[in-house]
Structure 1
């Protein structure tokens, strides 16, 4: 059988839901000699690699998925078959989103966003409407979840102007998504939810659309969070978890569990929050153990994403630049780590010398007013226990500038932002540990997450620095007093 015949057999099996059989046919395409094949055969060879990427991702074999994706990208460039790149970019975005979700790191989310954005414009350019809509849905959902709807206005306008795309089955779903996003931007939350409900009703009663239904639930959750209606948000979050569990959507389960932990925390139920956080950690660990996607493979995918910019936009190739930059970043990271390891156990609380602020326009009265606002945030606003809380956000809450907030913390607290934040977080961790009725219900990972630390190791190190003993030692001390 030719490459084309094998691909078409695989596609037929895929549409019939026979994914294992489809993967066999797509894999057989890879056994054919692509060098001696015609340009048309090469096109189907690349399509088979892209479809294999998706299927391997579905069974959580991310090593094979990333290998196929990289080969598809390489061949599309080598044989100048650029019309196949939109589908590849979509799979690239999905792979990076998976890794970002499991690692919960912004840099991978950003790369996934870039891949979806490239897929959208490339698909529009080649008139591949289904792929364009798929990219738009993924990009829209991502920007909605990260509160950056305004950053995709160009894509929204381009989507609305594409009358040619209206015959695609997923067009109506995407149309209601952009309608909901526009209402969210205007703070018309009830109308936004009406649009998201129309999204759900536009889907056929078929399990293969479960991932789209999951996205609609997520939009509903976000709309309620904007209004701080956490009880309602939890209702839809539980539906997300139920759907993901029923359809064996492992990544979806992890996201829903983390979100439920956060929803219950915001709703004041710390016990439920810790329960779901523990479940999320166990689920994430099992996923990371099960899949084979490592950071090296992800960085290769990212480099290919950067390299392909030249084909899509006519930019100069700069893969070497990206590689050098990555090595430079790694080198700086290694040096920083070695320096950090050698520093004294007690964190330096070096206060900026007075000379540094000689040109500052802050007078003593203004400093005291700002200090009071900082104190109020740290003592009354539980947002400081969220993982991404930073100096810029503190400045927003204090209605000031980051440089002024930093100056006041340095001069009036004799500290720096990170140290002060960690003191309050560790204080909260101690409060949780000292609650006798809940002490046995929390793991150290759960406590770390509840007070804003992204890892147990960082929590452990910071706790010892602040308290002079490890969390485990502190827990033993508390239990001894209780007995």
Structure 2
């Protein structure tokens, strides 16, 4: 694997509107970026990517961060985690901004190898799925289709298990970009059923869009294509400006075109192919123009214009060559699909059997032993994963939030009208920032203010609000933090850490994690957006 540490990296003065470039680097600038912490570099990368729409600068910062982390030997758990996330971001940038799939695959290989955190694995699997999705459009073989489905399904299940609803929704929506045909609906039936059962927080970004996709699937099943398309049209972004928003809008346009292909309505396919072509040229996004060529080829074939159909097919071939010429993604697929060291650990080969056993008996014994070993390893891994996940979550929460474990959900003896009344009381108490911003606010305190038992309060929160007390309290505290960040007059002089403490978080890290889970961005990014308005 080519080491990024060998690259000569530039990192000059980071102005809010400055475009960084390698050509502007000089050795005298080295102190500027060496003084920044790893965490600050990570924030800058996300800011350039998601807020300022500056992929060149985002890639440059991530190159610097990965080079710095790779020189540390040994790396801590958190450093390995940060490195795998940074490499994964680089793969995203190489894929979606620079269409350099050679370096994207290299970055993903390194991220896949280094990753030691099951919470990060879904992000990597999702990115692998993205690359093989495009590769499958270039070479639509059954094996390639199966590969894409594998990684999107894997990312979906992993994200659902860890409660990462944003990544889960992304995997769900991207899977349906493969099409709404019967084979795809059947292949993803288990995950679709699971998605219906999961209670996703109302504030989760793009949940409304994913729900519209779900309704569209149901309508496609009964061949109500126009109604299915209407569900997605209602959620389509109008006049997107940033690259990220353009991609989201064009993802919807692609899905609409796929539905209209099933309905055999080529004129409507042409309409959304034109959207992809327009934004592909405007933003210089080659993959969008590639998608448009596929759809336009279908349109011209359907309308009998062979000359234009051939021209679109030639455009398709040119893009395919520029994307993947010289790359052996068949070999890469095998490496990505190999179980990782923490997935399965096989014992040493079995000792030679006594001569009294037949070859068939020996084979059966070996296979049986391996089966038991695999099963035991799997069960042990799942046990350790859930145990560690519980301990990790507990360690990340402020001590005031975990004075004692919440009782396991028990069927409440409350009537429905009593639950309604208690739910209203809970919301009223949580709306009082003077109460919830106290560091020692607990479920016992909430129950006392609601004149109820902790068991009944916990049950109503679980049943009616679809989450635990800890997550619900975090959401209300983060809403209050956002209000205080918006209130420049009264809270403008407070640091982000002080804001976090003022709403009940003892640790900066726990505040940042909760803030990002609720709003989708870090506190610093949120604050910068307010400043730029």
TM-score by length of 2: 0.53
In structure 1, C-alpha distance between the alignment counterparts of 2:41 and 2:242, rounded to whole Å: 27
In structure 2, C-alpha distance between the alignment counterparts of 1:159 and 1:92, rounded to whole Å: 22
1:369-384 aligned within 5 A = none
Pick one of 41, 44, 47 that aligns with 1:12: 47
Are residues 140 and 243 of structure 1, via their aligned partners in 2, closer, same or farther at CA, if it must alter by over 3 Å? same
**Cα deviation, residue 203, structure 1:** 9.3
In structure 2, C-alpha distance between the alignment counterparts of 1:50 and 1:283, rounded to whole Å: 24
In structure 2, C-alpha distance between the alignment counterparts of 1:281 and 1:233, rounded to whole Å: 21
Q: Which residue number in structure 2 is paired with residue 163 of structure 1?
A: 199
CA deviation digits over 1:66-85, x for unaligned, max 9?
11111111112xxx311110
Q: Which residue number in structure 2 is paired with residue 425 of structure 1?
A: none
Q: Which residue number in structure 2 is paired with residue 150 of structure 1?
A: 186
Q: Which residue number in structure 1 is paired with residue 339 of structure 2?
A: 307
CA deviation digits over 1:383-433, x for unaligned, max 9?
xxxxxxxxxxxxxxxxxxxxxxxxxxxxxxxxxxxxxxxxxxxxxxxxxxx
Pick one of 235, 241, 244 that aligns with 1:199: 235
Pick one of 239, 251, 254 that aligns with 2:290: 254
In structure 1, C-alpha distance between the alignment counterparts of 2:281 and 2:182, rounded to whole Å: 24
Does the Cα contact within 8 Å between 1:231 and 1:267 map onto a contact in 2?
no
**Cα deviation, residue 34, structure 1:** 4.3
Pick one of 39, 51, 61 that aligns with 2:100: 61
Q: Which residue number in structure 2 is paired with residue 174 of structure 1?
A: 210
Specify which structure has the bigger relative contact order, considering alpha-carbon pairs within 8 angstroms and separated by 6 or more residues. 1
Q: Which residue number in structure 1 is paired with residue 276 of structure 2?
A: 240
Does the Cα contact within 8 Å between 2:237 and 2:245 map onto a contact in 1?
no
**Cα deviation, residue 220, structure 1:** 2.0
**Unpaired runs of at least 5, structure 1:** 319-483
CA deviation digits over 1:282-335, x for unaligned, max 9?
34334446xxx601x552244223424x85xx66779xxxxxxxxxxxxxxxxx
Q: Which residue number in structure 2 is paired with residue 272 of structure 1?
A: 308
**Cα deviation, residue 206, structure 1:** 4.2
In structure 1, C-alpha distance between the alignment counterparts of 2:61 and 2:211, rounded to whole Å: 35
In structure 2, C-alpha distance between the alignment counterparts of 1:90 and 1:73, rounded to whole Å: 12
Pick one of 82, 87, 91 that aligns with 1:49: 87
**Cα deviation, residue 51, structure 1:** 0.6
CA deviation digits over 1:354-389, x for unaligned, max 9?
xxxxxxxxxxxxxxxxxxxxxxxxxxxxxxxxxxxx
Secondary structure of residue in 2 paired with 1:200? coil
Are residues 49 and 192 of structure 1, via their aligned partners in 2, closer, same or farther at CA, if it must alter by over 3 Å? same
In structure 1, C-alpha distance between the alignment counterparts of 2:344 and 2:293, rounded to whole Å: 41
In structure 1, C-alpha distance between the alignment counterparts of 2:63 and 2:253, rounded to whole Å: 35
Q: Which residue number in structure 1 is paired with residue 253 of structure 2?
A: 217
**Range 128-137 or range 203-212, more displaced:** 203-212
**Cα deviation, residue 2, structure 1:** 4.2
In structure 1, C-alpha distance between the alignment counterparts of 2:193 and 2:240, rounded to whole Å: 27
Structure with more of its chain in helix, by fraction? 1
1:352-371 aligned within 5 A = none
**Cα deviation, residue 38, structure 1:** 2.2
Q: Which residue number in structure 2 is paired with residue 363 of structure 1?
A: none
In structure 1, C-alpha distance between the alignment counterparts of 2:85 and 2:206, rounded to whole Å: 21
In structure 1, C-alpha distance between the alignment counterparts of 2:225 and 2:179, rounded to whole Å: 17
Number of residues of Structure 1 aligned to a counterpart in Structure 2: 308
The two structures, once aligned, show a CA RMSD in angstroms of 2.6
Are residues 203 and 41 of structure 1, via their aligned partners in 2, closer, same or farther at CA, if it must alter by over 3 Å? farther
**Cα deviation, residue 43, structure 1:** 1.3
In structure 2, C-alpha distance between the alignment counterparts of 1:201 and 1:12, rounded to whole Å: 22
**Cα deviation, residue 5, structure 1:** 3.3
**Cα deviation, residue 183, structure 1:** 0.6
In structure 1, C-alpha distance between the alignment counterparts of 2:346 and 2:332, rounded to whole Å: 16
In structure 2, C-alpha distance between the alignment counterparts of 1:30 and 1:84, rounded to whole Å: 16
Q: Which residue number in structure 2 is paired with residue 352 of structure 1?
A: none
In structure 1, C-alpha distance between the alignment counterparts of 2:181 and 2:285, rounded to whole Å: 19
**Cα deviation, residue 147, structure 1:** 4.7
1:90-129 aligned within 5 A = 90-129=126-165
